[in-house]
Amino acid sequence: MSELVVGLSYRTAPIALLERAALGDDAARALEAQILRQDHVAEAVVLSTCNRLEVYADVTRFHGGVDDVGEALAAATGIPLPELIAHLYVHYEAAAVTHLFAVASGLESMAVGEQQILGQVRTALRAAQDGGSAGRVLSGLLQRALHVGKRAHSETSIDRAGRSLVEAGLDRAAAVVGPLSGARVLVVGAGTMSGLVVATLQRAGVTRLAVANRTPERAARLAGPLGARVVPLPELSSALADADVVVSCTGAVGHVVPADLAASAAAVRGGRPQVYLDLALPRDVDPAASEVPGVEILDLEDLGRDLAAATGSEHVEQARAIVAQEVADYLTARRAESVAPTVVALRARAREVVEAELARLTGRLPDLAPEVRAEVERTVHRVVEKLLHTPTVRVKELATAPGGDAYADALRALFDLSVDPRIDADAEVFAVPPARTAALTDPQPLRAGGAA
């Protein structure tokens, strides 16, 4: 089994396509279930954010896995596969691990170093685990990615590498409407992103702030601590006319601010400039509103261009060094783990041979004294144990190097072993029967993956 990533992001696709590909939570879970029904996929986790849609999968074959995931993505998004393929990227095995660790560290974010992606990865993992699409492989991989992301933020200053999307947007807005400390700002939405927006506005000195949301209670929870005004959605039209800057970041399907509503608000404003900062995907503000005199719309695509150069190279390079180290450690551990089923199979084969020969001895010498029988059994076990010790230890050591799985392949071929890849690496597969251990003074039971 191998890790595979198939996805698209702001780096490979225009915002218009990302908007069409955006999936809500229920759709993401349905996509995971659909992918699991394919022939070459054992596990799947869908990561869907405003800037990316990615499928992380554990697959049996590369080409088969890519085909399965690509077709499922096309069906889930409604985008024809030929059109989708032009914007997809594919990472496999080590490259897939590297990509995921970089994503969790904020290195692949539009706003380099942002921490929100950690929560999004964690949420995607938990949802996939609850739905049964994430098993041992992907659960371990994504948990390791969360660890890497936390390291990148705690051991470097990558979170200072670039301005946030909100900061970049507000800087652009201030260039149009003047200092924000004197502006009226309306935030549409009351989710996590809206909370970040409100906190940034507060730091920017905004005092005339209003929050609109479909659920007034949520708007009140966000607005209350700051003394902001709560706007019921039926009053959105008048609130838009009153706002110099509108920041919208809802999870709604369809435009929250259609072009005619923006035009009505602009008419009331009498030509005073107004900026819509649209942080949602799908977009909350109808792009046609940009044709209204006095209205400027800034969306994720615009902000992405502004942030492209804000990479904070020193901090980014430090974070990339952590990612590289963690990838190497993960791959080394995975290679060592991959030989465990072979070691288990080898020891199981030895156990079968020992038990067969001891049974034959009992048949040929039924009157053998119990103490002699115990000594013979102990001797046989010790001989086999010593013979197995070096190859099992060495194959684990050699497996940690690139190409080390060839040694496990050789063991399987030489001893004609049938390997179960799902077997527990700590399973006891060659041990002296418990009833006999009291008579033995030397070896302890052998466990797969190591010597007694």
Q: Which residues are catalytic, by number?
A: 50
Torsion, CA 398, CA 404, CA 409, CA 410, rounded to 10: -50
Q: Are 3 and 97 in contact (CB under 8 A)?
A: yes
Q: What are phi and psi of 173, to 5 degrees?
A: -65, -40
Taking a C-beta distance cutoff of 8 angstroms, is the pair 245, 175 a contact? no
Tell me the residue ranges of DSSP E strands in 122-200: 184-188
- Side chain identity at 124, as an amino acid letter? A
**Pairing of the two strands 2-9 and 52-59:** antiparallel
CA nearest 311: which of 109, 132, 162?
162
User: For residue 150, what are the contacts with CB-CB under 8 A and spacing of at least 6?
Assistant: 118
Residue 7, CA distances (Å) to 47, 48, 79, 350, 379 in order = 9, 10, 13, 46, 58
The one-letter amino acid code at 251 reads G
Q: What does the alpha-carbon distance between residue 213 and residue 192 come to, in Å, rounded to a whole number?
A: 13
Per DSSP bridges, beta strands 274-278 and 295-298 are parallel
φ, ψ (nearest 5 deg) of residue 168:
-65, -40
Among 51, 27, 63, residue whose Cα is nearest residue 116: 51
Tokens 């652009």, residue located: 172
